[in-house]
Amino acid sequence: MGLVPAAPAHPFRLEGSGDGKEVVILGAGLAGMAAAYELDKLGYRCTILEARERTGGRCWSVRKGATNEETGGGLHTAGFDAGQYFNAGPSRIPHHHGLTLHYCKELSVPIQVYNNVNENTYYYSEGKGPLSNKKVRVREAHSDVRGWMAELLAKAMDGGKIDVEMSKEDTLKVIEYLRAEGGLDIDKLYKASARRGYSESPGPGDREGKIGEPMTLLAMLQSGLLDPDFYNVAEYTYELQGTLFQAVGGMDRIAAAFEQKVGRLIRMGSEVRHIRNLEKGVQVGYKDKTGEKTMQADLCICTIPLPVLSNIDHNFSSDASRAIDSIVYMSTGKIGLQFKRRFWEEDEGIYGGITHTNNQLTQIFYPSYDYLGGKGILIGYYNFNEKAVATGNLTYEQREQLALEKGSLIHPQYRQEFERSFSVSWHKTKYNMGGWALYSADERQTLYKALLQPDKQVYFAGEHMTYLNAWMAGALESARSVVAALHSRVTGQRFSYPVFGS
């Protein structure tokens, strides 16, 4: 209760000066650029080496002309119309990620609500049980399962079958609550309610509306609608609880805002080849279009994702090296599908939100922007683990075919309205090689801890150095945390960023 502490939502203020110390930062993703932005304010001389010709890393909105390179996949170029985009990386900002919201404010990036839960999207169970291949509205599943569960418990409590250790009066109050929760009738029976929607809408005159027939619990169960494939996946998780936001015009507007501040410090197209702690300072070797280069700096912040760093020559400690080589990243992929018109809105009343399915697509994301507009891009799948590996193993054309074939089961309009696609398989993407770091509880105590302290002159930063994996907040919190640690070392003062290093 009370105020749950949130990340500080204020400008970062540390005392003392970096006094011209040189810091080389590896990677111009959010962590690298945020670190440079804060260090630059403190009087450090920063250089950012970025392998790509763009900033942002995983904070990437795919637009016309965007390119990507996957292992064995060649260069892939987006042919979307001007003005169309989808967020290939993070697409949501939880309201409790105060630091992400703070930087949006500090850097003047407008935000808008990301509409994560939409009761009008679908659960689509392919080839399973009595509800196989039927489009079940989320509201129908929600209302029916709540109804059936509340009925079971209310009847059992009413029949004295539950040991609740409370007075008869309190028990009756719980039963009343269950009636409200489940939409039960006066006899504590679930017989559907307006909550599950109408087969005929209420309207003017004598149009009082007809409530749909409920699905049976057994049918839902047998079709897997109570499996984690569907139920509550997108709603109850702390990070997915509303209010959620997104940057207006694409999440890459956040990266672009940082780039505007630190762009002068970035050497683009500079692929790191080696990182070497020297007795004093650090040496970094990199390759750009003019050839192999080396540079030296007093200190280094390395934000390179670990599966990429694992293939870069370095002289880190054996503990750090083991961690870098061992930590596993999420396999995950998305495809953006551009359509001639927003049929999901026009024909089906779906404005934002997510359709869940048990097939390889896993999810379809509807855009939470440009409502009532003309064209639009759906995220045709957003999948994980084995499903993402299998999808990633397909060619770009095969992924498009898969998305269209499976998606057409849910939206037959796909065939008529489709224009073009662009897919990203993050675990195969050069310079990323994964979605985000995955840790077991054990690994948090061993591998993770080995990277928490700097390896001599090299500090590790990025979402993988936090408990906020996969979130932009991880990159940003990590950046501030490392800046505080580095600045403590340089000034001899003790700057503690909440908990880290304190």
SS (H, E, C) 20-54: CCEEEEECCEHHHHHHHHHHHHCCCEEEEECCCCC
Nearer to its own copies, 352 or 392 (CB): 352
Give least dist CB 385 to its own copies, A.
Answer: 18
Q: Does 386 bind its own copies (CB under 8 A)?
A: no
DSSP states along 103-152 = HHHHTT--EEE-----TTSEEE-TT-STTTT-EEEHHHHHHHHHHHHHHH
For residues 24 and 47, the answer to whether their CB atoms sit within 8 Å is: yes
CA–CA dist 416, 436 (Å, integer): 36
Q: Does 17 bind its own copies (CB under 8 A)?
A: no
Q: What angle do CA 181, 183, 187 make, to 5 degrees?
A: 110
For residues 399 and 332, the answer to whether their CB atoms sit within 8 Å is: no
Give least dist CB 457 to its own copies, A.
Answer: 18
Q: Mark 318-347 with x for binding to its own copies (rule: CB under 8 A) and - for no binding.
A: ----------------------------xx
Q: Does 276 bind its own copies (CB under 8 A)?
A: no
Which one of 164, 260, 325, 385 is in contact with its own copies (CB under 8 A)?
164
For residues 460 and 494, the answer to whether their CB atoms sit within 8 Å is: no
Q: Does 107 bind its own copies (CB under 8 A)?
A: no
| Residues 434-453, interacting with its own copies (CB under 8 A) | 444, 449, 452
Q: Does 493 bind its own copies (CB under 8 A)?
A: no
| Tokens, residue 234 | 């997108």
Q: Does 170 bind its own copies (CB under 8 A)?
A: yes
Give least dist CB 267 to its own copies, A.
Answer: 26
417: nearest Cα among 366, 374, 360, 354: 374
Q: Mark 279-318 with x for binding to its own copies (rule: CB under 8 A) and - for no binding.
A: ----------------------------------------
Give least dist CB 3 to its own copies, A.
Answer: 6
Q: Does 206 bind its own copies (CB under 8 A)?
A: yes
| Tokens, residue 396 | 């770009």
Q: Of 36-44, 127-135, 259-267, 300-308, which segment contacts its own copies by CB under 8 A?
A: 127-135
Q: Does 427 bind its own copies (CB under 8 A)?
A: no
Q: Does 48 bind its own copies (CB under 8 A)?
A: no
Which one of 111, 389, 390, 404 is in contact with its own copies (CB under 8 A)?
111
Q: Does 466 bind its own copies (CB under 8 A)?
A: yes
Q: Does 384 bind its own copies (CB under 8 A)?
A: no
Q: Of 50-58, 162-170, 309-317, 429-437, which segment contacts its own copies by CB under 8 A?
A: 162-170
Q: Of 16-24, 190-198, 255-263, 355-363, which segment contacts its own copies by CB under 8 A?
A: 190-198
Nearer to its own copies, 193 or 423 (CB): 193
Q: Does 32 bind its own copies (CB under 8 A)?
A: no
Work out whether strand 299-302 and strand 22-26 pair parallel, antiparallel, or are unpaired. parallel
209: nearest Cα among 199, 218, 217: 199
| Tokens, residue 35 | 């670190």
DSSP state for residue 97 in the 8-state scheme: -
460: nearest Cα among 258, 293, 319: 319
Q: Mark 233-252 with x for binding to its own copies (rule: CB under 8 A) and - for no binding.
A: ---xxx--xxx-x-------
Nearer to its own copies, 212 or 250 (CB): 212
417: left (phi over 0), alpha (psi -120 to 50) or beta: alpha
Q: Does 499 bind its own copies (CB under 8 A)?
A: yes
Cα within 13 Å of Cα(271), Cβ side: 15
| Tokens, residue 16 | 């003392």
Q: Does 83 bind its own copies (CB under 8 A)?
A: no
Q: Does 104 bind its own copies (CB under 8 A)?
A: yes
Which one of 201, 289, 290, 291 is in contact with its own copies (CB under 8 A)?
201
CA–CA dist 458, 304 (Å, integer): 12
| Tokens, residue 147 | 């109804």
Give least dist CB 244 to its own copies, A.
Answer: 9
If DSSP codes are grouped into helix, strand and coil, which group holds residue 493? coil
